[in-house]
Structure 1
Amino acid sequence: MAELKETFACVPSTERGRGILISGDAKSNSILYCNGRSVMFRYLDRPLEVKVYGEHMYPATVARYSPNGEWIASGDVSGTVRIWGTHNDFVLKKEYRVLSGRIDDIQWSADGERIVASGDGKGTSFVRAFVWDSGSNVGEFDGHSKRVLSCAFKPTRPFRIVSCGEDFLVNFYEGPPFKFKLSHREHSNFVNCIRFSPDGNRFISVSSDKRGLLYDAKTADMTGELSSEDGHKGSIYAVSWSPDSKRVVTVSADKTAKVWEISADNNGKLVKTLACPGSGGVNDMLVGCLWQNDHIVTVSLGGSIFLYSSSDLDKAPLELSGHMKNINALALLKGPSKVILSTSYDGQIIKWLQGIGFSGKLERSVTTQIKCFEALEGEIVASGFDNKVWRIRLLGDQCGDADSVDIAKQPNDLSLALLSPDLVMVSHDTGVTLLRGTKVVSTIDLGFTATACTIAPNGNEAVVGGKDGKLHVYSVMGDTLKEEAVLEKHRGPITVIHYSPDVSMFASADSNREVVVWDRASHEIKVKNMLYHTARVNCLAWSPNNSLIATGSLDTCVIIYDVDKPADQRITVKGAHLGGVYGLVFTDDHTVVSSGEDACIRIWTVTPKK
């Protein structure tokens, strides 16, 4: 069996020039955010405890707990709202097509009976409120002419709904059934977020015009604003009230969060400016926030989540970070701490530690997209979509000098001779290229498209897989290759090949879902009938003791085989990663790490079948 031990979560999906509206549940001290089709649960006092809801058919955009914490309403880019339980495997209760376009915000009424959703639509249909268990409408929401970015439900009776959006308007509705009452036009740019205070006495709107305006919750009269003297120097993307309704936190494109005291005269006086840790680049813009219990949560454009203590604003924040995009490769830095390195298509390289999680981003002077990489003590060798092979030195928590060489071909795979790490083989559409250091020593036309390759640790042998499904075994003789054997078993393009740690075997996999383990000396098949995936095999990894092999596939599964047992005694982890598994590495004989399109990393403890 394989037991899930840890999940290193993805970060929220963000978009330049737009805020994100995260939410949470005070009782469980958890927050919700979206990435791709996943709705992520993170527990602020237990960062390694993560739950994922992945049932949306389209990318999810926003999710909210019901007031009693038993239900969650989540919306997606298709305009669909799904209502599902927080327990019992997230059982789906209801699903409604609410708008014709993207859902940007969702709010529950305080009694948990109604939901209001806003976003993109057609005509004047940018806001809709409905009874959650029947879907019946509870009002008409005229008054907006463009996308409505945020909406809110007054938490006390008499119920009111407010909304704001790209038409610069703040609209106020009375009900139920809800009907338009009045509009405010004081903002001069997109109004990004609107929120009622928990006591139901006020609401606040924040805008890309750098202003935050305060209103009376019963009459909708504008009563004050956040001090412009200490105000943000960039667009304000989100706002959240403190639980006692006396303060708010705002976040901005100026890379700061500000805590404001709301005075008796309904104006906002600055209490503290919270600087976002980081290098000061574009990704440090702050686009989301939440005030929950003693935590102030901020989210940067790069996806990093910062947890501040509201009772000690001078205390440095805790950073929770990770990948936002598909994690396409994993590597293990040998050593006592078992540092896991991961890279995603956007070029990020992140360090992780078992039992701790996020351990830092490896900042690089040139952020190129990485397709495949291998790690050594003190060095990373990577290839990407820029036709280059990079050697990046590691200096503690940062990337040091990087040398690159343009091989003038799009790399399909890369393999490093671990005992002779100067030697690198790169496969591409016409054959392979051999490098020593960052010098191309030969580019060899093999007469076929080389889709995958592996080179023996001592650098004297290589196996190259082709688009035709054949494996070609070569002796490496100086800067040339001599073909020793052609192995035919696969019925689809080879996707991955790896030698076992003791180099007595090698394993190969193809896009036609088959895996084969070969004896290196005799070239005979050692394990056959490994045909249990239902789609292309993307990755494979060997355990250090050479006894287990793990495979990951587009079918979302990880399968673990024991090479000394029949293939039908495999261990299967179903749904390991939504969208497919793209990276695997063993940290010891019984622990395998996986990554995938869901931008998450999971650590599994493997107990072989008796």
Structure 2
Amino acid sequence: MTLAETYACIPSTERGRGILISGDSKSDTMLYTNARSVVILDLNNPLKVSIYGEHAYPATVARYSPNGEWIASGDVSGTVRIWGARDDHVLKKEFKVLAGRIDDLQWSADGMRIVASGDGKGKSLVRAFMWDSGSNVGEFDGHSRRVLSCAFKPTRPFRIVTCGEDFLVNFYEGPPFKFKLSSREHSNFVNCVRYSPDGSKFITVSSDKKGVIYDGKTCEKLGELSSEDVHKGSIYAVSWSPDGKEVLTVSADKSAKVWEISDSGNGTLKTTLTCPGSSGGVDDMLVGCLWQNDHIVTVSLGGTISIFSASDLDKSPFQFSGHMKNISSLSVLRGSSDYILSGSYDGLICKWMMGRGFCGKLQRKQNSQIKCFAAHEEEIITSGFDNTISRISYQDGQCTNEESIGVGNQPNDLSLAPLSPGLLLVAFESGVVFLRGEKVVSTINLGFTVTALAVTPDGTEAIVGGQDGKLRLYAVNGDSLTEEAVLEKHRGAISVIRYSPDLSMFASADLNREAVVWDRASREMKLKNMLYHSARINCLAWSPNSSMVATGSLDTCVIVYEVDKPASTRMTIKGAHLGGVYGLGFADDTHVVSSGEDACIRVWSLTPQ
């Protein structure tokens, strides 16, 4: 199996905080973080993605070394890892730098030193060290609260500037670095500081809506961004143009502005950038930015990434988004144009197409959490943690109606019978609820703990899996169930059941990491010994031609079996998703789609043996 496409997660964001993204001008790639992942995204082709997932704790910031060969990334534990920017991402060094979260880090221009800032205890809020040995190269007094950003002067003599929640901008000379002076030009959190490419100036931006420009060598204040065109909300991030003559700022007022910086250090507004498709809500606040070559990049609180052309600012930006949280389920829908729907536990449903990637978010009435998910043609069914089922009608990628139906119990699984109009079966702890349309027509107590179920498309047969590992086959008579058989093979609670597309078979999997393919007519095992995962199986999918079954597990792997061949001839994708695989589907007979806790979707190309 080979990786064909990756639909990347979006940057992790937090209301009231900026995110400090970065990039590499040589490769035209951008770095950002989501949970434990550091994402390397090609700005010219957002489907070209590489992900580093070796941090033990959520990553917060990442930066390329000046030569583009290495990446330094920090996390919430105060650890910095230095690793290769190439495909193997080999770890070079790891250092415990701060006692708390790292908010920003920068390399020196010679690639020998790194400065990191963030949270910690006492005076340990900033540290500069040699990248190869970790030895300190200075003392950083002067801050009393969290240091949100730091910058290394890119030319000699080297200087370091820091800023943070104590409203201060501190200036250090070295190496070895020592405190020189503080600037108190801001009256609120100073969120970001950045040096111009030639080192002659640096700029700070703050939640007081001001941007202040300083002399890069002496820290003397030179000027400010024009107060006439100032942002109307906190300025969260700033980035210089490659020639050092302009800066880009983004703000909580949902706008991005490009400023011309004069030699004297004053900033005048050149243009205000607006992102199309804004809903007007808080998710449109802009919290991160990057100016790299001809790309001007902004990131919104909701995770939408907009890429403008610096040489043609009137041109509409290329925009894409995705999931920020664990993608708990996905469905591949086939029709005039095949596409993928994915749902994350925070309630977001996204649409994707192979070869194109992100195609939009479905705007729901309420973004309630998603625990169970099913989709067919023009209907989506979800359940959360509030004892309700949502039946969502949609057309052209948008929800047209959403009805919330109380079922009186916490759903554990659900299955839709599309050929029996409106029929939906919902599993709860001790039984099954029948819904027809928007009405609960029966609630059946089965006398055992129900963990999974599946119903045939015509609604005539259902399979119910239990905590005891047994599969019970029922005939569906009206709104009731008649038990016909009990199948015993599993040694753990049933986690998922799926009928094959041709309905000649069904497959089941359990929390004890085993899967079984059953012949539906004889109710005998057709493929057994599918015991190659090292942790519980979360999801299962059939190929359209019913010849293959794929399983996804907490062990981060996807395994594909051919039904007519021994289980030992399996195909395995190791490390498919950091944190575990939670969603699976077949785009066609040669492509598997997977999703996981890393909030990414991947398409895998299969070459059967």
Segment of structure 1 superposing worse, 173-182 or 310-319 = 310-319
Distance in 1, matches of 2:37 and 2:111, equals 24
Deviation of 1:539 after TM superposition, in Å, equals 0.2
Matched, 1:235 2:234: yes
Pair 1:10-2:12 in alignment? no
Partner deviation per Cα, 1:259-313 (whole Å, 9 max, x = no partner) = 1011233111111111233101111110000000001000001111100111111
Q: Which amino acid aligns with 1:487?
A: L
The CA distance in 2 between the partners of 1:18 and 1:387, in whole Å, is 34
2:124 and 2:2 mapped to 1: Cα distance?
A: 47
Distance 1:375 1:88, change over 3 A: closer
After the TM superposition, which residues 520-535 of structure 1 pair with which residues of structure 2 at under 5 Å, given as runs?
520-535=520-535
Query: Which deviates more from structure 2 when the two are superposed, residues 136-145 or residues 256-265?
Result: 256-265
Question: In the alignment, what sits opposite 1:363?
Answer: 363
Match of 2:298 in 1: 298
* 1:374 partnered with 2:374: yes
Aligned positions of 1:527-546 closer than 5 A: 527-546=527-546
- Which amino acid in 2 is paired with 1:152? A
User: Structure 2: which amino acid aligns with 1:343?
Assistant: G
Match of 2:479 in 1: 479
Which residue pairs with 1:423 in the alignment?
423
The answer to which of 451-460 and 372-381 deviates more is 372-381
Alignment correspondent of 2:343: 343
1:486-565 alignment to 2 at 5 Å?
A: 486-565=486-565
Aligned residue for 1:193? Answer: 192
From the superposition, tell whether residues 115 and 200 of structure 1 become closer, same or farther in structure 2 (CA, over 3 Å).
Answer: same
Aligned partners of 1:314 and 1:415: how far apart in 2?
A: 48
- Higher mean C-alpha deviation, range 193-202 or range 370-379: 370-379
Secondary structure in structure 2 of the residue aligned to 1:46: coil
Question: CA separation in 2, counterparts of 1:448 and 1:145?
Answer: 59
Instruction: Give 1:119's aligned residue.
Output: 118
Query: Alignment length, in residue pairs?
Result: 608
Aligned-pair distance for 1:333?
Answer: 2.0
Letter in 2 for 1:368: S
Query: Structure 2: which amino acid aligns with 1:471?
Result: L
Show CA shifts across 1:431-456 (max 9, x none): 11010111101010111121100001
Q: How far 1:87 sits from its partner (Å)?
A: 2.1
Q: In structure 1, how many angstroms separate the alpha carbons of the residues matched to 2:409 and 2:288?
A: 41
TM-superposed CA distance for 1:608, in Å, is 1.1
Matched letter for residue 445 of structure 1: N
Q: Name the counterpart of 1:54.
A: 53
Shift of 1:98: 0.3
Q: Deviations over 1:334-373 (max 9, x none)?
A: 2132111101011111110100001111111211111122
Matched residue, 1:388: 388
* d(CA) in 1 for partners of 2:215, 2:108: 18
Mapped to 2, the partners of 1:423 and 1:398 lie a distance apart of 23
What residue in structure 2 maps to residue 167 of structure 1? 166
Q: Are 2:48 and 1:64 aligned?
A: no
Counterpart Cα distance in 2 of 1:402 and 1:71: 48
Deviation at 1:421, TM superposition (A): 4.1
Distance in 2 between residues matched to 1:437 and 1:132, nearest whole Å:
62
* Residue identity (%): 72
**Structure 1: runs of 5 or more not aligned:** none
Q: How far did 1:404 drift?
A: 2.1
In the alignment, the residues of structure 2 paired with residue 442 and residue 352 of structure 1 have an alpha-carbon distance, to the nearest angstrom, of 36
- What one-letter code is carried by the residue in structure 2 that aligns with 1:280? G
Partner of 1:205: 204
Aligned equivalents of 1:214, 1:305: Cα separation in 2: 27
Moved more, 44-53 or 416-425: 416-425
Aligned to 1:26: 25
TM normalised by structure 2 equals 0.99
The corresponding residue for 1:568 is 568
Q: Per the alignment, in what secondary structure is the counterpart of residue 370 of structure 1?
A: coil
Q: Tell me what 1:249 maps to.
A: 248
**Partner SS, residue 152 of structure 1:** strand
Return the letter of the residue paired with 1:41.
I
Amino acid at match of 2:344: S
Give distance in 2, aligned partners of 1:217 and 1:383. 56
Equivalent residue number for residue 462 of structure 2: 462
**Distance in 2 of aligned mates of 1:74 and 1:392:** 41
Q: 1:178 is matched with which residue?
A: 177
CA distance in 2 between counterparts of 1:516 and 1:455 reads: 17
The AA in structure 2 aligned to 1:104 is D
Cα offsets for 1:121-174 (capped at 9, x unmatched): 110110000110111110000000111000000001100000000111000000
Letter in 2 for 1:85: G
Tell me the distance in 1 between the aligned counterparts of 2:312 and 2:605.
39
CA distance in 1, matches of 2:84, 2:574: 22
- SS in structure 2 at match of 1:24: strand
Name stretches of at least 5 consecutive residues in structure 2 with no aligned partner: none
Whole-angstrom CA distance in 2 between matches of 1:488 and 1:379? 34
Structure 1 residue 523: Cα displacement: 1.3
Q: Which residue of 2 aligns with 1:149?
A: 148
What CA distance in whole angstroms lies between the structure 1 residues aligned with 2:381 and 2:125? 50
Q: CA deviation at 1:238?
A: 0.3
User: Once superposed, what is the RMSD of the aligned Cα atoms?
Assistant: 0.9
Deviation at 1:88, TM superposition (A): 5.4
**Residue equivalent to 1:315:** 315
* Structure 1 outlier segments of 4+, above 6 Å: none
TM normalised by structure 1 equals 0.99
2:90 and 2:421 map into 1 onto residues whose CA distance is 51
SS in 1 for 2:47: strand
Equivalent-residue separation in structure 2 for 1:213 and 1:181 (angstroms): 19
